[in-house]
Amino acid sequence: MDLPHTIPTSFVPQSASVAARRFHTNFTGAFGFFGYMVLGIVFVLALGVFFYGRILATTQSSKDAELAKAEETIDPATVAGFVQLRDRLNSGALLLADHIAFSGFFTLIETLLPTTVRLTSLRLTVGDVKKIRFEGSGVAKSFNALAVASTAFATDGNIKEAIFSNIVINRDNSVSFALSAMLDPSLVAFSP
């Protein structure tokens, strides 16, 4: 039997790896290009960091020279004067923080007390923990005027625990009284 001419009379079988390579796309060139691109970027960044470090070192040395020149021009007497001024200002701030100013208290008493009630004596004592005690005596034109003063003290809140005692009705129908109370520390605190 005669074989057609399209069929070869002999052949060499191909291995399985050659056949697999035929259907496999080669990415080695793309990965190599990407790797070289990353290497190039890292190299450029390393050069940038190196030169930036040199620029910073030069700037620091020039600033150090300027600082040394400025330190040479400082007068020790001026520095001592500034230190003394700072200490004096700190001492003044401490004194003012502990200073008691009664002007706020007197303004409050003036607004709270009716014109028909007057204080004849007044005593303010400051305790160890800045508790300010207010004691006094006075005269009211009538008992109703004294009741108005008591209500004003109770509703204000800056004068606490107000106690009216020793209430005596005089011959002219005026009312004598004694008063003791505690003051809110913010009422007598100094404020510039």
Enumerate domains of the chain plus CATH numbers: 103-187 (3.30.70.2830)
pLDDT for 50 equals 94
The SS3 call for residue 1 is coil
The model's pTM is 0.49
Dump pLDDT digits (tens) for 92-148: 888 877 777 778 888 888 888 888 899 999 898 887 767 888 899 999 998 888 888
CA angle 174, 159, 152 (to 5 degrees): 50
Contact between 100 and 190 under an 8 Å Cβ cutoff? The reply is yes
**Which residues in the chain land under pLDDT 50?**
none
Task: Report yes or no: 153 and 105 within 8 Å, Cβ to Cβ.
Answer: no
Residue 15 has a pLDDT of: 63
Distance CA 141, CA 114 (A): 10
- By residue count, the chain amounts to 192
Q: What is the pLDDT of residue 104?
A: 82
- At what angle are helices 103-112 and 143-156 packed, to 10 degrees? 130
